[in-house]
Structures are given as C-alpha cells and as structure tokens.
C-alpha cells in the first residue's frame, strides 16, 4: 500500500469512528465505510436484468414460455423507431437499491460510489463478452457546461473511467459534448424527449471515432432518447459500431 492509499485508509477509518454511517437503503450500520452510505449486502441484492429481453434495447420482457424460447425478440418500440446503436443493455432495474445509489451519487455527491457501481458494470461486461466484443473507445454521455459546474462532476464519465481502467480501453473525455441546455427528461413524453434532445450533442473530433467500435456509457436508460441521440452523432462521424451500457433501466 503506497503512502497516498495509506493516508486515505487512515482518514476513512477515523471518519468511520467519529461519524459512523448507516446504510441509506436498509438502515444497517456500515462498519467499514468506504466513503459512501450503501452497505455491501444491499449492493449484493441488486436485481441483475436477465433474459428474456429485447435483443436491441435490452428491455426486460415478461417471462412467458414464448419469450423464453425465442431469443431474438424485438420490443414494440424497437420495431417502430430508428435506432443508431447496435444494442443497449442495462445492469439492473432502476428500483430500490440502484435508485438510491444513483440519487446519492448524482445529487448528494457521493462520488466514491463510482467505484462499486463501476464494478457492477464491469461484472456485467465480463458476463456478456459475446455482445461487447472489440471495443476500441469508451465514450460517456456528456453534461451541458452549466450542469457540469453545478454538479461538479459527470457521473457517466466516472463510471466510464472505472471500466476503461479495468479493461485498458481509452476513455474519450471530451469527444462527445452537449452543446445546449435541455429540460429535465423525467416528466416528458417520449416524443417530447426526442424533441428536447434534438441537435443537443456533437462530436468534436470525428476522426477519433471513424471506423471505431464505441462503448457509450450512461447511468440510466429510460426511453433511450438520450443514448440514441448521442449514438446518432457518433454514427454520423462514421463510427463502425456503437454499443450502449447503462447502470440502470427505468421501466
């Protein structure tokens, strides 16, 4: 353990002793906190999305016999809309643990959650190697400049850096930018979301994505409007293939 890590370890130990944390999900005391208020048991309880799913966007499907037997099902939305990514997947449902984790991470600024949440995404990639092959570059979904100043960090970038470090894949920090402010997507319809994000993103250096296989990273997939709009810009820069991975899936 180097000196910096040792100092960090001692600092965390002192904080745990003076200000012991309780898990924000189950309320249980966290004996060995690592700077975030979610216990290991709650992390282990995250519901990983499993088949049957839509083969394009990864939407969970009802576990009927038909869907279990037919692995190439497209959901209704994917049959109707033009998608610029090859496929999208999410680690778990945006429910209970992941919902609380993402809220603490983004809005309570528990930045250290990037490491365990990144590990969940890394584990998912390791278990799904067949659909995430030959990734050349990792691109995080960007924040608009003013939003980045207010939050202080881009949550998708921190997750991308965890993944990139593990797999030794470069992360393009400022290759994809958000060039205009948009409304919060939460209360918008699917059509309103698409209009809201129209021409919101841009690729700053198309040569860096040309003929490359891109892994696009975001925290939550709801309707897919954000990652699809990002993918459109990357595709227009002549990327070879775009795969999407998000931490959570909103249903």
102 and 206 housed in the same domain:
yes
39 and 89 housed in the same domain:
no
In a domain, 128, yes or no: yes
pLDDT at 55: 96
pLDDT at 191: 78
182 and 94 housed in the same domain:
yes
Tokens describing residue 246? 């998000």
5 and 88 housed in the same domain:
no
Residues of the chain with pLDDT under 70: 1-19
In a domain, 64, yes or no: no
- Bond into 52 cis (ω within 30): yes
182 and 102 housed in the same domain:
yes
In a domain, 39, yes or no: yes
The domain that holds 186 is classified in CATH as 3.40.50.2020
24 and 124 housed in the same domain:
no
9 and 102 housed in the same domain:
no
34 and 121 housed in the same domain:
no
pLDDT at 70: 84
Distances 120 to 22, 163, 247 between C-alpha atoms, Å: 21, 10, 8
Q: Is 50 exposed, middle or buried (0-12, 13-18, 19+ CB in 10 A)?
A: exposed
pLDDT at 5: 54
In a domain, 147, yes or no: yes
pLDDT tens digits for range 156-204? 999 999 999 999 999 999 999 999 998 877 777 777 877 889 899 999 9
pLDDT at 2: 59
In a domain, 54, yes or no: no
pLDDT at 8: 55
157 and 89 housed in the same domain:
yes
In a domain, 59, yes or no: no
Q: How many domains does the chain have?
A: 2
* Enclosing domain of residue 5: 1-44
Asked whether 60 and 95 are in contact (CB, 8 A), the reply is no
pLDDT at 12: 53
Sign of the alpha-carbon dihedral angle for 6, 12, 15, 17: negative
pLDDT at 83: 97
pLDDT at 174: 94
Distance CA 229, CA 226 (A): 5
95 and 178 housed in the same domain:
yes
Distance CA 183, CA 195 (A): 10
Q: Which pTM does this prediction carry? A: 0.90
pLDDT at 16: 53
202 and 108 housed in the same domain:
yes
pLDDT at 210: 97
Sign of the alpha-carbon dihedral angle for 71, 75, 76, 80: negative
């Amino acid at each position: 353990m180097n000196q910096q890590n040792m100092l960090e370890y001692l600092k965390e130990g002192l904080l745990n002793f003076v200000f012991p944390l309780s898990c924000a999900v189950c309320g249980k005391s966290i004996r060995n906190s690592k700077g975030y208020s979610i216990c290991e048991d709650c992390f282990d309880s995250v519901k990983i999305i499993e088949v049957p799913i839509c083969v394009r966007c990864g939407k969970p499907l009802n576990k009927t016999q038909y869907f279990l037997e037919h692995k190439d099902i497209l959901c209704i939305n994917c049959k109707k809309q033009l998608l610029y990514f090859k496929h999208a997947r999410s680690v778990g449902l945006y429910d209970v643990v992941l919902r609380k984790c993402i809220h603490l991470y983004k809005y309570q600024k528990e930045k250290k959650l990037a490491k365990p949440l990144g590990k969940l995404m890394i584990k998912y990639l390791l278990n799904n190697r067949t659909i995430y092959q030959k990734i050349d570059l990792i691109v995080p979904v960007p924040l608009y400049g003013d939003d980045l100043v207010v939050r202080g960090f881009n949550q998708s970038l921190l997750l991308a850096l965890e993944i990139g470090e593990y797999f030794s894949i470069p992360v393009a920090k400022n290759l994809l930018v958000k060039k205009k402010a948009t409304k919060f997507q939460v209360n918008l319809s699917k059509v309103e979301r698409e209009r809201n994000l129209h021409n919101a993103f841009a690729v700053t250096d198309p040569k860096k994505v040309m003929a490359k296989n891109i892994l696009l990273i975001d925290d939550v997939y709801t309707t897919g409007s954000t990652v699809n709009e990002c993918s459109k810009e990357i595709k227009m820069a002549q990327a070879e293939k775009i795969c999407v991975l998000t931490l959570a899936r909103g249903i």
